[in-house]
């Protein structure tokens, strides 16, 4: 009898545990705690073996849930950011751009000192000097630090805003961009000198002024921005809003693409003019 009693008791306990586990999984689904749903049984077993206090068990599975949420959030933000692939700090050759302080760039990549204030970052330099690469690398680091970023060619965004204006939806389209802490506008100079295009670009700059940050890359210094904005007053107003709270970086270096082409043309067996750089092309 005692043996049969123990066997029956084990069966009842097994059924109870199975029911409790199924009930717990339903509750975790309802609470939207997918990481805990996957991991709780593993940690419960470890807790039983090692005699964890209940508080330690709960803290451990909660920490894993928070970490998993953070990982999924970064994944979502990376998808929506539309960053060009492969543009990271590791593949950027800081030695090829000696006027840039790596320490300053790393500080900008944290975001705390400027994104919360709606400040801007402006990168100037000739084509092929690494502006787009650096902008994308900063954007990637900011996303990893918890910020939301959108990378876009300026012409592409301007066309979308023009369409929104024609549909009487420009204000809403600009407001939707507020969800991004940083808007990276690549190649500002390629916007055509057209009143309709430049007016929506100006409205975007004005709407984000002192509220949300922008990172702009441009081949032309401010003195040539009259090629972008046909109205001199609009040019001055746009520049004023962008530089009021801004870090300006000038990357006046030889084009990486040109250096690479020259070295390919030189062929093997000829000493290069300098060490082969990492990829820094726009």
88 lies in the same domain as 66? no
In whole angstroms, what is the distance from residue 193 CA to residue 228 CA?
A: 5
> Starting at the edge strand that comes first in sequence, how are the strands of the sheet with 246-250 ordered?
149-153, 182-186, 213-218, 120-124, 246-250
- Residue 140 vs residue 282, higher pLDDT: 140
Look up the domain containing 74 and give its range: 14-79
Most distant pair of Cα atoms in the chain: their distance: 100
Report which of residues 196 and 102 the model is more confident about.
Answer: 102
Same domain, 157 and 71: no
Q: What is the DSSP string of 194-218?
A: -HHHHHHHHHHHHHHTTTSEEEEEE
Residues 107 and 57 in one domain: no
The set of residues, in sequence order, having a beta carbon less than 8 Å from that of 60 and lying 6+ positions away, is 43, 52
Name the average pLDDT for the chain.
83
In a shared domain, residues 217 and 103: yes
Scored b (16 or more CB within 10 A) or e, 155-194 reads bebbeebbebbeeeebeebbeebeebbbbbbbbbeebeee
Domain co-membership, 67 together with 89: no
In a domain, 53, yes or no: yes
Same domain? 75 vs 87? no
Cβ-based burial of 83 (10 A; exposed 0-12, middle 13-18, buried ≥19): buried
Helix or strand holding residue 4 (H, E): helix 2-31
Residues 144 and 252 in one domain: yes
Instruction: Establish if 103 belongs to a structural domain.
Output: yes
Residues 177 and 191 in one domain: yes
Cβ-based neighbours of 121, under 8 Å, separated by 6 or more: 108, 114, 138, 213, 214, 215, 216, 246, 247, 249
Tokens 């690398």 sit at which residue?
A: 137
Dump pLDDT digits (tens) for 55-91. 898 898 899 889 888 889 999 999 999 999 999 999 9
Q: Residue 50 falls within a domain, yes or no?
A: yes
Cβ-proximal residues to 168 (8 Å cutoff; 6+ apart), any chain: none
Residue 110: CA count within 13 A, CB half-sphere:
7
As a whole number, mean pLDDT of residues 207-214 equals 95
Does 11 have pLDDT greater than 50? no
Please tell me the pTM assigned to this model.
0.75
């Amino acid at each position: 009898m005692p043996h049969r009693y123990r066997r029956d008791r084990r069966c009842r306990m097994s059924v109870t545990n199975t029911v409790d586990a199924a009930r717990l999984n339903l509750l975790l689904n309802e609470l939207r705690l997918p990481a805990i749903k996957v991991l709780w049984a593993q940690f419960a077993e470890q807790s039983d073996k090692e005699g964890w206090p209940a508080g330690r068990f709960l803290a451990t599975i909660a920490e894993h849930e928070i970490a998993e949420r953070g990982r999924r959030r970064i994944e979502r933000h990376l998808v929506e950011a539309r960053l060009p692939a492969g543009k990271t700090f590791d593949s950027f050759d800081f030695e090829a751009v000696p006027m840039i302080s790596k320490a300053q760039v790393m500080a900008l990549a944290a975001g705390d000192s400027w994104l919360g204030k709606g400040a801007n970052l402006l990168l100037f330099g000739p084509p092929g000097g690494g502006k787009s690469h650096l902008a994308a690398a900063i954007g990637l680091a900011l996303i990893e630090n918890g910020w939301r970023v959108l990378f876009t060619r300026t012409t592409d965004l301007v066309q979308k805003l023009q369409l929104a204006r024609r549909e009487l939806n420009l204000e809403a389209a600009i407001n939707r961009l507020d969800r991004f802490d940083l808007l990276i506008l690549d190649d500002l100079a390629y916007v055509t000198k057209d009143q309709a295009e430049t007016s929506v670009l100006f409205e975007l700059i004005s709407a984000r002024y002192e509220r949300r940050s922008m990172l702009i890359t441009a081949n032309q210094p401010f003195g040539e921005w009259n090629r972008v904005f046909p109205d001199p007053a609009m040019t001055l107003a746009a520049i004023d809003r962008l530089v009021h709270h801004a870090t300006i970086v000038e990357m006046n270096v030889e084009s990486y693409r040109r250096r690479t082409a020259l070295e390919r043309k030189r062929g093997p067996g000829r000493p290069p003019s300098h060490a082969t750089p990492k990829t820094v092309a726009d």
